[in-house]
Amino acid sequence: MTELPPNPLDPDENRFHLTPPRRSAAGARAAAVSLRRSIDDMGVRRTARTLAVINQPEGFDCPGCAWPEAAPGERHHIEFCENGAKAVAEEATTDRVEPIFFAEHSVADLATRSDYWLGQQGRLTHPMVKRPGATNYTTIEWDEAFALVADELRRLDDPDEAVFYTSGRTSNEAAFAYQLLVRAFGTNNLPDCSNMCHEATGVALGAAIGIGKGSVRLEDFVEADVILVVGQNPGTNHPRMLGTLGEAKAAGATIVAINPLPEAGLLNFKNPQRPSGIIGSGTPLADLHLPIRLGGDQALFQLWSQRLLRRDAEHAGAIDREFIDGHTHGFEQFAAHIDGLDADALLAATGLDGQLVDEAFEIVAGARRMIVCWAMGITQHRNAVETIREITNFAFLGGHIGRPGAGLCPVRGHSNVQGDRTMGIWEQPSEAFLDRLAAEFPTVDVPRRHGLDVADAIAAFMDGRARTLFCLGGNFLRAIPDTAAAEEAIGRCRLTVHVSTKLNRSHAICGDTALILPTLGRTERDRQLGGDQFVTVEDSMGKVHRSTGVLQPASPHLRSEMAIVTGVAEALLGRSSGIDWAAFRHDYSVVREHISRVVPGFEDFNERIMSPAGFELPHPPRDHRTFPTPTGAANFAVTDVLAAGSIELIDPEGPVLLLQTLRSHDQYNTTIYGLDDRYRGVHGGRLVVFVNEADIARLGLADGQFVDLVSHFDDVERRVRGFRIVAYPTPVGCVAAYYPETNPLIALGHRSIEAGTPASKSVPVTLEPTAFD
């Protein structure tokens, strides 16, 4: 253990020290941390009540990640991970933020507090309002809050002056009602957290296979002979996936990790579900780790495709000609393009050792059933869409789609973020969806003009084209890049509304008028006039199932998301919409009946959802190798990894480094559970930057030195101060640091070329010694 002096710029850093990075994940330590955090936050009885039913048919869906569960009868009695336990403990905490708290803490005071401090104060209990010119939030009655929102929205010159954001936590039922409210109001301004994470997946897969979702089932993993885990750290971000990978490994799969950093969970997994995972040595998961340069994944898959095609030219059978000829379009153009690429330039773009690339190629070239998994390490680059298209190209060459044990597996980062999109939460809805919505609700004049995504919404707030922000969940300001610009933009709003369970930074940077509307969490019973209600969610693999809360609400003043959405709808639209919003609120089965007629795959929703296993949504490419694309086939793509502006090409001898933002192990999205990242050996602080030892020496810096991270976009200097250098095995020329602390460095315009997702995994920065005042 290395004790180090505290960082004077970090108010949370009071016990900072470093330990060697861990070489394994989970095990007894994870079980102990889960139990301790749960008991500390919830007490013994609430811990027992909640942990017993997480991800069980009779319980609630974990509010963390969207990794699916096995079928009832096959899943574990303890079907949660360390971060799932932390997420539940955060929500079901016995700490409360009562009105007296807001009397003691002004909005300006809240703005000085860290994300960790805000989140640790407890559950919100009352609806609160900050009125124009006021310094503090005060209580407000629900009906007055709804009237305030309605009055402000009616004041707008155009419905497009309002923006309605959604986080992935929202249920299918609430999401459907929310998008209906927004479209009945007259706008498609429905940005969501997908704009920040998997937008590139939807764009790329939509073009390649005709549906923007993955093509594998959970049971495919034990049938795969090769699994690629690309741009993903499941040990921290989707820990239950490690159990699935462990089962695949036991069944004979070879696993290749492609990620800039070595990740403990992929090095070795100690499954806490088994005695051997508690007291044994664990299971090495990744047979091979490729420490790829940031942004180099597209080049790697192009290089592999080129080699596979040339091998097939020499010895027929290296590619799946039957699949290519019978189910794809554009192969000849793709093959000609790939053959003409400079293999040496592609290898250089990956930053990898050639022998390592060769070894990995022999694994993937020999695969008969291959799954490719990816997450935000792929989707948050300038070339994100092109990279995913190259992944699909390579999968098509081997016919790795539409058969057991093979397919494309984007791993969504938040429970029901995929379901929200299925329900119509999107600023660019399809005409087909809008047609079905208009047919189901003929009194609604459904708007057709596409709306604003997150980055465009910030620009609209800045120049006055938008004046009202309504957020159904999430921590809007901490989720988006260019923090200073975003805060200035939000400060220009006339009204900001946040439907939340706990305090966050977005409550402290607000409009002239601001509302905090406290809502039920996933863990809590939802009792309406029609009786106890359940909601539904969709996991990463397109299965829909129930979620039923079990705890008494944190306060009698809380309302469900459905009650809040319908309360606003009644105040704003009244009878003019021709929709019985009260019926929605009293009995969620009413909403599900509408969904069954609007959203394909949800036919007989109320009947099918009563199965303990839920039901699976149709996926034509997976189910029967049909592709709902304009060509009627799986489409090969031609991309150019070396095109100007596609990726950041950094001079290895220059001062500029590429930064990737990432989570610590004590964090989920923008929620900070604690100040430790034990897998990477960081304890008691978050203002650190991981740098390769060779870069530290080359730049004349020192391990442990405090530096500022400085980015330069559009001649604007963006700087975050006082980050401690931690020597770490990152690729040369690449560094890493935690978000949201590094979000201020990323310009709003630094986005995926086609999808608009922030390119926060490849940010050019320089490191400058910090000058403390």
Find the mean pLDDT for residues 516-545.
96
Within 13 Å of residue 214, how many CA atoms lie on the same side as its CB?
27
Check residue 72 and give its pLDDT: 87
Domain covering 103-195+416-608 assigned CATH 3.30.1490.190 in the classification:
no
Task: Supply the pLDDT for residue 385.
Answer: 96
Count how many residues are written for the chain: 773
Q: What pLDDT, on the 0 to 100 scale, is given for residue 63?
A: 84
Residue ranges of alpha helices (H) inside 467-522 are: 476-479, 483-490
Of 432-436, 481-485, 696-700, least confident by mean pLDDT is 481-485
User: For position 93, what pLDDT does the model report?
Assistant: 93
Task: Name the helix (H) or strand (E) containing 572.
Answer: helix 561-573
Task: Inform me whether the pLDDT recorded for 275 exceeds 70.
Answer: no
Query: Considering only CA atoms, which of 411, 472, 502, 375 is closest in space to residue 87?
Result: 502
Give mean pLDDT, residues 156-184. 96
What is the rounded end-to-end Cα distance, in angstroms, of the chain? Answer: 29
At residue 168, the pLDDT reads: 80
CB distance 434 to 258 below 8 Å: no
Q: 773: which DSSP letter?
A: -
| Of residues 709 and 712, more confidently modeled | 709
pTM of the entire predicted model: 0.95
For 498, the enclosing helix (H) or strand (E) is strand 495-500
Report pLDDT digits (tens) over 538-577.
999 999 999 999 999 999 999 999 999 999 999 999 888 8
Q: Confidence band (pLDDT; 50, 70, 90) for 412?
A: confident
DSSP helix/strand/coil, 239: coil
Map residue 695 onto helix, strand or coil: helix
Does residue 213 register a pLDDT over 80?
A: yes
- Residue 74 to residue 726: CA distance in whole angstroms: 43
Residue 404 has pLDDT above 80, yes or no: yes
pLDDT above 70: residue 280: no
Does residue 1 have a pLDDT over 60? no
27: left (phi over 0), alpha (psi -120 to 50) or beta: left
**Are the CB atoms for 296 and 352 separated by under 8 Å?**
yes
CATH architecture of 199-415: 3-Layer(aba) Sandwich (3.40)
State the average pLDDT for the chain.
93
CB atoms within 10 A of CB 503: 26
pLDDT score for 15 = 82
Domain ranges across the chain: 103-195+416-608, 199-415, 657-769
For 67-79, give one letter per residue: b (16+ CB within 10 A) or e. bbbbeeeeebebb
Helices marked H in 315-444: 321-327, 331-339, 343-350, 354-365, 376-379, 384-397, 417-422, 431-440
Decide if pLDDT at 216 tops 90: yes
Task: Say how many C-beta atoms besides its own lie within 10 A of residue 255's C-beta.
Answer: 23
Q: How confident is the model at residue 170 (pLDDT cuts 50, 70, 90)?
A: very high
pLDDT, residue 655, reads 93
Q: What is the pLDDT of residue 646?
A: 59
What does the pLDDT look like over 568-619, one tens digit per residue?
999 999 888 899 999 999 999 999 999 999 999 999 999 999 999 999 999 9
The highest-level CATH class for domain 657-769 is: mainly beta
Give the pLDDT score at 652: 77
Residues 6+ positions from 444 with CB-CB distance below 8 Å = 180, 183, 184, 437, 438, 577, 578, 579
90-113 pLDDT, tens digit per residue, is 999 999 999 999 999 999 999 999
Query: CA distances (Å), 55 to each of 212, 236, 545, in order?
Result: 25, 18, 10
Query: What pLDDT does 660 receive?
Result: 97
pLDDT at 453: 94
Decide which of 388 and 275 is more confident: 388
CA 266 to chain centre: 20
Radius of gyration of the chain (CA): 25
Q: What is the pLDDT of residues 134-158, one digit of tens each?
A: 999 999 999 999 999 999 999 999 9
Walk across the sheet containing 676-677 and list its strands: 2-3, 17-18, 682-683, 676-677
Burial class (CB in 10 A: 0-12, 13-18, 19+), 613: middle
The pLDDT value recorded for residue 68 is 86
Predicted pLDDT at 279: 65
Tell me the β-bridge partners of 764: 658
Burial readout 330-364 (b: 16 or more C-beta within 10 A, e: otherwise): bbeebbebbeebeeeebbbbbbbeeeebeebbebb
Provide the pLDDT confidence category of residue 277 given band limits of 50, 70 and 90. Answer: low
Asked if 33 and 40 count as a contact pair (C-beta separation under 8 A), the reply is no
Give percent above pLDDT 70 in the chain. Answer: 98
Q: Dihedral sign, CA of 642, 711, 489, 122?
A: positive
What is the tens place of the pLDDT at every residue in 293-344?
999 999 999 999 999 999 999 988 999 999 999 999 999 999 999 999 999 9
pLDDT at position 83 over 60: yes
Q: Are 395 and 208 in contact (CB under 8 A)?
A: no
Output the pLDDT for position 273: 72
3-state helix, strand and coil shares in percent for the chain, rounded to the nearest 5: 40, 20, 45
Q: Which helix (H) or strand (E) holds 3?
A: strand 2-3
pLDDT of the residue at 719: 96
The tens digit of pLDDT for each residue in 639-691 reads 988 775 656 667 778 899 999 999 999 998 888 999 999 999 999 999 999 99
So what's the pLDDT on residue 271?
78
Nearest CA to 27 out of 237, 244, 243 is that of: 243
- Adjacent-strand bridge partners of 767: 709
